Structure 1
């Protein structure tokens, strides 16, 4: 890596990363340098997906899901990273967070940020492209099916995500 600092945006805020930190994992950087500890690291090799964050190449681009434990800071230079901390507006939870809460869609909660961020990326794509209602479960499987939950809360996660996605597809409150 060169001696030059790099810039990126995290939760809407521009961040300057020193050259010394450029090869640090994104998850470690978020925790250690920005004190954003909502992104969890479990396996450390991108298999469990607890470390999922959102990534946009430009602010107006569609959100993609990214594994923060397996991504170096330098690979997201000049991009926009979103962590679970970005979802709520002050003390007001996002529709997805509220649905998780109302559906009791977590037990220990460790994997919840990864599920939330993967589902947030899915909802961003649904907002742009739509989806026939009969393909919603398939979309949920595609976007969050690889996320692991040691407490086996998959049914509740799917129910919470489906509720918000259905409302969004109908142009309702989850939009």
Structure 2
């Protein structure tokens, strides 16, 4: 496929993509061209979801989870990509990252970025909405249930995400 130069935004920074790189997978581009290695590739076919990143079609849109291993750079022209590196601000971990640490929500950690980004998209969609405790487990399952963990850390991942949702609900955020 022949492409002219295109642009994307990664973690808030504009990136001009050379035509020669337009057919690269987003995961490969993040690793090879931007040295953002937090996005992991495991299966390479979009099944495990370790490569999940956030994507917005405009800065104020809700974040959607996207599989970076099966998405080409050309498919996301002029869109906004968020990787796990975007979660900490000013050297401070996000509340979700803090919760993952506090609950020991990972073992080897390879799939953790994918879980974090899927949960971040979920939190973005839940902003301003109250999630009833009886629906919380189902909501989390909808957003991160497809992410695979070879170390079987699912219970701890869900516990960490649940803590953040509950804290937001208590604060009314």
- The alignment's TM-score, normalised by the length of structure 2, stands at 0.97
Structure 2 counterpart of 1:31: 31
Q: For 2:136 and 2:127, how far apart are their aligned partners in 1? A: 13
Give per-residue Cα distances to partners, 1:145-169, cap 9 Å, x unaligned: 0000000000000000000011112
Give per-residue Cα distances to partners, 1:51-91, cap 9 Å, x unaligned: 00000011000000000001000011000000000000132
Matches within 5 A, 1:138-153: 138-153=138-153
Tell me how large the CA RMSD over aligned residues is: 1.1
Corresponding residue pairs, total: 173
Structure 2 counterpart of 1:53: 53
Structure 2 counterpart of 1:168: 168
Return 5+ residue gaps in structure 1 as ranges: none
Is 1:40 matched with 2:40? yes
- The alignment's TM-score, normalised by the length of structure 1, stands at 0.96
Return 5+ residue gaps in structure 2 as ranges: none
Secondary structure of the structure 1 residue equivalent to 2:7:
strand
Question: 1:140 offset after TM fit, Å?
Answer: 0.3
Question: 1:128 offset after TM fit, Å?
Answer: 4.3
